[in-house]
């Protein structure tokens, strides 16, 4: 797997994981890459420093709990950005995503629900879709 630092035309920074550099190039050429914050398909690789193993030991990194909390906060921000900026279409998601892809409906960001079979069919047909992070649990639902 290869991790690329990516940015969109609005300078939103995010990461993408790809099986190979060819996978990235293919997805980029087909317009399948989108910014998770604004939905822009104008995505490019950002400059990255290579991960080189050194001989000096660095300080201890964040705890697994801290990393988990940071990941959950980032996922919640992504979800909130989608809910704030995209149209909710409920269980008509697959139908509406296909209509937008085929030019039969207005081009816009949408979110909603779809079955695994519907998502699989959309992906197979080249319709760009991505799973939305789950809703964060309410404080009274946490341990």
Whether the CB-CB separation of 119 and 98 falls below 8 Å is answered with: no
Is pLDDT of 48 > 80?
A: no
109 vs 18, higher pLDDT: 109
The pLDDT confidence band at residue 22, using thresholds 50, 70 and 90, is confident
pLDDT, position 71: 86
Measured distance CA(99)–CA(27) in Å, rounded: 21
Chain segment 82-135, per-residue pLDDT in tens: 999 999 999 999 999 999 999 999 999 999 999 999 999 999 999 999 988 888
132 sits in the region (left: phi over 0; alpha: psi -120 to 50; else beta) called beta
């Amino acid at each position: 797997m290869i991790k690329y630092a990516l940015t969109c035309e609005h300078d939103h920074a995010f990461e993408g994981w790809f099986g190979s550099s060819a996978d990235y190039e293919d997805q980029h050429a087909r317009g399948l890459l989108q910014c998770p914050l604004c939905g822009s398909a104008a995505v490019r690789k950002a400059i990255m420093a290579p991960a080189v193993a050194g001989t000096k030991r660095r300080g201890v990194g964040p705890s697994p709990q801290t990393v988990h909390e940071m990941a959950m906060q980032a996922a919640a921000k992504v979800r909130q950005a989608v809910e704030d900026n995209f149209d909710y279409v409920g269980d008509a998601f697959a139908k509406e995503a296909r209509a937008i892809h085929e030019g039969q409906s207005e081009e816009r960001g949408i979110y909603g629900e779809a079955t695994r079979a519907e998502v699989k069919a959309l992906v197979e047909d080249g319709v760009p879709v991505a799973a939305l992070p789950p809703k964060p649990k309410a404080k009274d639902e946490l341990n």
